Amino acid sequence: MQYFISVFISAFLVFQIQPIISKVLLPLFGGGASVWTTCMLFFQFFLLVGYLYSYVLTKIMRVRNQIVVHLSCLIFSLFLLPIDIADIQNIPISGQPTWAVLKVLFFSLGFPYLILSANTPLLQHWFSSETNGANPYRLYAISNVGSFLALISYPVVIEPFLSLELQVKLWSSIYWLFFIFIGWIFFTVVKQNNKYNPSVSENISSPTLSYFRLILWFMLSGLGVILLVSTTNALTQNVPPVPFLWLAPLSIYLVTYVLAFSNLSIYVRSIWLPFFMLLSFVALLIYFIGGQFDILTQLLIYLLILFCGCMICHGELNSLKPQQGNTTLFYLILSAGGVCGSFLVSFTAKSLFDEFLEFPLAIFGVLVLTTVSLWWSKKDKRIDIDFSQADAIANKHLSILALGSACVGGVWLLSFVSLNNQYKQYDIAKARNFYGILTVKDITQGEINERRLVDGTTSHGSQYLPLSNTAIPTSYYRPGTGVQLVIEELSSDSHNQLHVGIIGLGVGALAAYGQAGDHYTFYELNPLVSTFANRYFTYLRDTKAKVDIKLGDARVTLQKELELGQKNEFDLLIIDAFSGDLIPTHLMTYEAFLLYQQHINTHGTLALHISNRHLSLLPVILQHSKSLNMQIMLFDTPGDGKEHDTQWVIMTNNKRLTQSVQLLYQQTSLDKGIHPEVLWTDDYSSLLPILKVLN
């Protein structure tokens, strides 16, 4: 019993800490999806190190000695546990964002996570040795159940009711419980004098494996992780990377492992492969025009593709797994494949591709690798000594499936290349870094004649062509929008030189409203945005105002300024820091608004751009305006089919604005009674109350 409980607890801890620590790190690195991607790489790598540790341990020591070593490492790891959230947040951040994330993870969690990762294969080996070669995959099933419960319990039970501080403390407390159970196993072995039996171990680990089978283990496990991480990235292009959108794909990934390795015979090639062939073309649709669908539709389509693709990868792995022995080697290679897959997405893809090609390549990879796996299975059956007529029929069936998969893969690749060339026809510049993919497009079609900056699939500003030194802002910042009306009202006093702060640079369109003597300070997270705004657009170059650009996360920068005694005394602070299609969550919490309020002067104003296809941020702002005792004005500006529909919210106690005849005439009537008040804090934020599809 202690084996099953220990495996369950360790698996639960391994996957429960992932969303906890990732959510702690998210605001420290700009709130982008790459934070989770990098965390996934860390988790995969230390899982590999843990499996390597367990593999070496089982090869050089007897079971009792293995338990002694593992228990000793556990005792040491107790002194390295994160006791509270400050232990994580206070680790110095330096260097490139990816390496900085890995550094924080290593120093806050590295050794305890390594020991947890080694636990499942070690316990399976001890269990098999103690029971004279009993099937260890029952423990593997328990491990997957623990992992799955950890993931689904977090957004439902943990996140809504516990602060991050309590989450960290609870996790560390359960880790102590895990230590007690490992100690129980050790004393049970000592008491029973259950000595290592060389004949049993030799029998368990002796079967010879072909190198090609090992390569297939590696590639199938790696491809499953590539599909997982690329799907998560695709999902969080237009919505914030909150834990639910991390955990839903990861849960699907684990469920396919459980189903594929169960005894239920759920993986039937003749069903799953044709279904995935159909879904591969749905994947093309969602890749190119996914932003046109609501978030729930996107979520369901992406998760269905992920489920089917991982079911195939893990189903093929199950058909190739060792039937007896070599379990630690099997897990080691699977883990190595997972690390490789995660590394390819987190590092290699960003260096090689200036497009988000991981997702389509993963889809194509499933078709190709399935063909190879089917071919290998067919060859493996042919060399079987007991090859029968039934095997001949099965081989013919495998040949048909392999041929079908190869043909569909070829057609799919041609379709993707054709569609991608059409999609790229307007590109004049493109680049990729930790924060995402930026593209500059010159759109000249029908009545549209403009240059756009696109982040992922969302336009972040535009300028009419040909470029002019008297450029008029377009899109979300055009004349008549809420932000333009407020700037105009504040600028109407000839003696008032505006001090304006803007969180989010975009193409710098708002600088066009600056007058001589005005001072505009832009806070921009992504250095590529600054480069593109200065190189391909003229707003910053031609403005009459003085312009400063401060690179780095706006909230971190404003907090540092405050700690140095610098209150900016902005007349107007504009929050327009979109990541894809939404402002990062950590810029919309109550603590963030308290910080903003300290950087505006007595009559200062907050202007928030909340245009969004999927979420209604107005309930969040209503709660903040009530908490901060500030009046609120709403400006909805329809696009009339030629421009974007635009929504701006103004928070202020400046009577010049709240009593302005022009603003009162232009504002949108706001019935606060029909909008729920949703409180977002650094410890809690949920998307469900503000999903448009649910309201």
Residue 202 pLDDT exceeds 60: no
Domains of the chain: 2-420 (1.20.1250.20), 468-694 (3.40.50.150)
Q: What percentage of the chain reaches a pLDDT higher than 70?
A: 86
Query: For residue 194, is pLDDT > 60?
Result: no
Average pLDDT of the residues in 14-38: 79
- Cα three-residue angle 517-519-521, rounded to 5 degrees: 170
- pLDDT over 50 (residue 68): yes
Q: Which of 237-251, 269-283, 671-685 has the highest mean pLDDT?
A: 269-283
In a 10 Å sphere around its CB, with 0-12 CB exposed, 13-18 middle and 19+ buried, how is residue 689 labelled? middle
* DSSP structure string for 168-237: HHHHHHHHHHHHHHHHHHHHHHHHHT----HHHHHHHH-----HHHHHHHHHHHHHHHHHHHHHHHHHTT
Q: Quickly state the pLDDT bin for 164 (edges 50, 70, 90).
A: confident
Residue 242: pLDDT band with limits 50, 70, 90: low
Angle, vertex CA 61, rays to CA 60 and CA 62, nearest 5: 140
Q: Is the pLDDT of residue 121 over 80?
A: no
Given a contact cutoff of 8 angstroms between Cβ atoms, the answer to whether 111 and 77 are in contact is yes
Is 80 exceeded by the pLDDT of residue 397? no
Q: In the chain, what percentage of residues exceed pLDDT 90?
A: 34
**Mean of the pLDDT values across residues 464-490?**
90
Write the CB contacts of 173 (distance below 8 Å, at least 6 apart in sequence): none
Neighbours of 245 (CB within 10 A): 20
- Pairing relation of β-strands 570-575 and 600-609? parallel
**132 φψ region: left (φ > 0), alpha (ψ -120 to 50), beta (else):** left
**What are 301-353's pLDDT values in tens digits?**
999 999 999 999 999 998 888 766 666 688 788 888 988 998 898 888 888 88
Task: Considering only residues 38 and 277, tell me which one the structure prediction assigns the higher pLDDT.
Answer: 277
The pLDDT assigned to 155 comes to 79
Nearest to 533 by CA among 561, 560, 508: 508
Predicted local distance difference test score (pLDDT) of residue 494: 56
Q: Please state, as a whole number, how many other Cβ atoms lie within 10 Å of the Cβ of residue 85.
A: 21
pLDDT beyond 70 at 204:
no
Q: What Rg, from alpha-carbon coordinates, does the chain have?
A: 28
Closest CA to 510 of 480, 548, 540: 540
Mean pLDDT computed over every residue of the chain: 83
Query: Is 89 a residue whose pLDDT tops 80?
Result: no
Whether the predicted pLDDT of 250 surpasses 80: yes
Question: Do 30 and 525 contact (CB within 8 A), yes or no?
Answer: yes
pLDDT of residue 47: 84
- Band of residue 594 on the pLDDT scale cut at 50, 70, 90: very high
Strands 646-652 and 499-503: unpaired
Alpha-carbon span 282 to 301, nearest angstrom? 8
On the question of pLDDT at 199 being above 80, the answer is: no
Average pLDDT over residues 58-83: 84
Query: For residues 322 and 502, which has the higher predicted lDDT (pLDDT)?
Result: 502
Q: Which of 203, 152, 219 is nearest to 322 (CA)?
A: 203
Cα–Cα dist 301/291, whole Å: 12
Q: Each residue of 515-558: pLDDT tens digit?
A: 999 999 999 989 999 999 999 999 999 999 999 999 988 998 99
**Phi/psi at 613 (5° precision):** -80, -25
Indicate whether 238 pLDDT > 90: no
Q: How far is residue 366's CA from residue 361's CA, in Å, rounded to a whole number?
A: 9
CB atoms within 10 A of CB 18: 25
Phi-psi label, residue 84: left if phi above 0, alpha if psi -120 to 50, beta otherwise: beta
pLDDT for 205: 45
What CA–CA distance (Å, rounded) separates 349 from 270? 33
- Is the model more confident about 329 or about 186? 329
CB contact at 8 A, 367 and 361 = no
177-186 CB burial, b ≥16 within 10 A, e <16? ebbebbbebb
Does the bond joining 155 to the residue before it have cis omega, within 30 degrees of 0? Answer: no
For Cα atoms 345, 346, 352, give the angle at the middle one, nearest 5 degrees: 65
pLDDT at position 278, please? 95
The pLDDT confidence band at residue 600, using thresholds 50, 70 and 90, is very high
In this predicted model, what pLDDT tens digit does every residue of 549-587 receive, in sequence order?
A: 999 889 989 999 999 999 999 999 999 987 555 667 889
Mean pLDDT of 208-230: 89
More confident residue, 171 or 615: 171
